[in-house]
Structure 1
């Protein structure tokens, strides 16, 4: 009995140290709590639609359903990469709440129409509209959160919660869909998607969002179109982030595309085992996201993300060796490996919002989040086809080796672009500005030289190479 009590007490202490309760600091903000609820509901609806769309594709195309879904996924990535900066430029000076609500209503309308399609091109057209709305909604939503949560630690908790929301969507949506399919046809799943987007729109409507000043003068449209990308690519830490996005997309694409092949062909298991493998990946990702707020209180983002990305590529080479030697690990070890890959994957992705936040002014955040959205999905645009078509053309061992090399190149580029001793506050000068310029007067520098948190903007168009 004494041993049992001690064990119970030990688990309680460990749970406290796990700091799940610390997420309450972010959730205690009523505006963020409402927006997070909207995000979770919309993601659950999206998860239901993903499953329903697969069944609809099979209903229309039979054995060619995989090709249909592959085309739909390709359209999704092309839309994200091509339209996200364009839509951010078009909506830059609009209040964010109407932008978010309109995007949700468009997504609800598309989901409402999907059950009535009768040809494959209908699916492709509606998927384009749906993803165009998401390409507007997601960056605007992500850019709003740091304006709601000003404190960096609280915002870090929000990033972890957002990561958890995506992982829970991957875990809960299939289970919920399975239960619903016991009593309704797959067409009814689209109703859940419609309801999710409508509830999301209502929740966004119910809160008051911060008003962000965009400045008295509108930029020309062409400049607005490239504004976020220019800031992104001129900032060393964000060039490092883009390189790490290449790493996560390379290994993540292999897991998301080929887990089904490994489980069903190599292990000879059924659909339930596939769900277990993806749950292991998602569970590792969730555990990592929960630990991230505590970890980032004591470590810099670079010191977390680069080692995690290195481990991620190490797992890829381990898999390549196992596949080539035809010595797959025992099933429990495989699940543990998938959990570790999920943990490293999440450790790279979760802190990225902090980097975007400290690398931009509030008025530029929609543009820079849109740039991150487009550029990160450009990585997936390369790695998804490589993981899928490469697996069929070259086999899994060579495919994971190629993706591992691609991921390793991302780690090397991140190390190169993102200096180890990079500081947020940088001493610099403005020889091009007159002594009475408002920027110089605001910082009270000696002459044109001063120090402050450095971000790329209209007064700082190039990153300083020395103090």
Structure 2
């Protein structure tokens, strides 16, 4: 898996991702502790609302940003957005009111909503080999898990010598270092695309996404992931410090267990994906999430919380890591930025549903009720995935073009009105074939 790091450009981008995410992880721990200081027993509700605002920024900004950034130099855009995030992070230590948290989180995450899809869409352009890209996805999953493993452990150590709000300075340093690494490489420019109006460019990725059966299944997977992971990401601080009466370091350790489970799965996934289809692996991950979220309903002690969080981390990684492979095979290169932005926005609609449910229901009716509802949502989404994503899902499909003339250049061959090639939704193929040949 580490052989992909021989590519200099990817190596620098991966380093930028790691550094920025470690800083973000410090901010995640600090934000939870800040919410607890400001709101006490209602910290889950405050944090849930803050994370819901984050999701609103992701859902609203990502498609709009994709419509404009396909015409901008990627390196300049990514560096500028890193600097914006750095500036906002430097403001967070001075927060003293809940409304200030909400405003700064919206600005910070709006910049992230523009940054992340463009960053993700760049990776398949610099790693055209399928195995290299699969390894890169697993390494990327490991990098994201460092936010849940290394950052909380580092935060736990730092909290012994500094106030928690100083952790936000680490976030700012992470974004600054990320910008410096992006500057150090030359990135491919976006593929030239057909000129389109702003509305069409804004909505194109979502239309391509929802017209593809495997991606509708991915959206159901995203809902399962959001529902189960919200139990961890929203309510860990409430479980550990309010229910169990433990300290901040115990909260950081619990989050590290979740990330550790996810990292463990990510390291094994490249070999697993060589043997099993993406759909099989992702449904297996969703099943693990169903089991873990069900166990959380009966959670009454810290010593049981840690292994359940590890189990949820394993399911979280297995269900999410192959996402980039699905997106790559479901669009032409020029449509990838729009499709990655659509995935970013639609997946965060799922988080927008799950985060407030975890926080508000937990605060109003108790953690077992919140876990029960989220577990039921996870189960329903996993069942929905198996229904909307066909088990037979080849890249190459035989299909008709009733509206094209026989001499159209697209029709390379004709077999009773059908022809065959790798099929994705585009201007020529606007709907998925209903009758697929197996």
Pairwise same-fold verdict (TM > 0.5)? yes
Q: Does 1:425 align with 2:396?
A: yes
Cα distance change of structure 1 residues 25 and 183 upon mapping to structure 2, 3 Å threshold: same
Alignment coverage as a number of residue pairs: 436
Q: In the aligned structure 2, how far is the partner of 1:40 from the partner of 1:432?
A: 49
Q: 1:274 aligns with which of 233, 236, 251?
A: 251
Q: 1:307 aligns with which of 281, 284, 287?
A: 284
Which deviates the most, 256-265 or 240-249?
256-265
Alignment of 1:401-420 (within 5 A): 401-420=372-391
In the alignment, which residue of structure 2 is the partner of 1:465?
434
In the alignment, which residue of structure 1 is the partner of 2:190?
212
Cα distance change of structure 1 residues 69 and 401 upon mapping to structure 2, 3 Å threshold: closer
In the alignment, which residue of structure 2 is the partner of 1:385?
356
Alignment of 1:65-464 (within 5 A): 68-116=46-94, 120-181=98-159, 184-186=162-164, 188-215=166-193, 217-264=194-241, 267=244, 269-320=246-297, 322=298, 328=300, 334-440=305-411, 443-446=412-415, 449-464=418-433
* Residues 188-235 of structure 1: CA deviation (Å, up to 9, x unaligned): 4333222211221121111111233223x4111111111000011000
Residue pair 1:76, 1:127 contacting (<8 A) in 2 also = yes
The Cα of 1:316 is off from its aligned counterpart by 2.7
* Residues 409-433 of structure 1: CA deviation (Å, up to 9, x unaligned): 1112111110111211101121212
Cα distance change of structure 1 residues 398 and 119 upon mapping to structure 2, 3 Å threshold: closer
Q: In the aligned structure 2, how far is the partner of 1:184 from the partner of 1:272?
A: 13
Secondary structure of 2:149's aligned partner:
helix
Cα distance change of structure 1 residues 421 and 66 upon mapping to structure 2, 3 Å threshold: closer
Q: In the aligned structure 2, how far is the partner of 1:28 from the partner of 1:163?
A: 18
In the alignment, which residue of structure 2 is the partner of 1:19?
none
Secondary structure of 1:170's aligned partner:
coil
* Residues 280-316 of structure 1: CA deviation (Å, up to 9, x unaligned): 2221111111110000001100111112212321333
The Cα of 1:347 is off from its aligned counterpart by 0.5
Cα distance change of structure 1 residues 32 and 368 upon mapping to structure 2, 3 Å threshold: same
- RMSD value, Cα: 2.5
* Residues 64-108 of structure 1: CA deviation (Å, up to 9, x unaligned): 765544432221111111111111112222222222112112112
Residue pair 1:433, 1:448 contacting (<8 A) in 2 also = no
Consecutive unaligned residues in structure 2, runs of 5 or more: none
| Higher Rg | 1
Which deviates the most, 400-409 or 114-123?
114-123
* Residues 132-185 of structure 1: CA deviation (Å, up to 9, x unaligned): 110000010111111111111211111111111111122222333344455555
Q: In the aligned structure 2, how far is the partner of 1:444 from the partner of 1:212?
A: 31
Q: In the aligned structure 2, how far is the partner of 1:121 from the partner of 1:262?
A: 24
* Residues 320-367 of structure 1: CA deviation (Å, up to 9, x unaligned): 3x35xxxx5x86555333322211121001111111111111111111
Consecutive unaligned residues in structure 1, runs of 5 or more: 1-22
Secondary structure of 2:421's aligned partner:
strand
TM-score by length of 1: 0.86
Cα distance change of structure 1 residues 81 and 411 upon mapping to structure 2, 3 Å threshold: same
Secondary structure of 1:452's aligned partner:
strand
TM-score by length of 2: 0.91
Q: In the aligned structure 1, how far is the partner of 2:435 from the partner of 2:29?
A: 52
Q: In the aligned structure 1, how far is the partner of 2:170 from the partner of 2:313?
A: 28
Residue pair 2:240, 2:302 contacting (<8 A) in 1 also = no
Q: In the aligned structure 2, how far is the partner of 1:44 from the partner of 1:431?
A: 53
Residue pair 2:288, 2:314 contacting (<8 A) in 1 also = no
Which deviates the most, 290-299 or 109-118?
109-118
The Cα of 1:121 is off from its aligned counterpart by 4.0
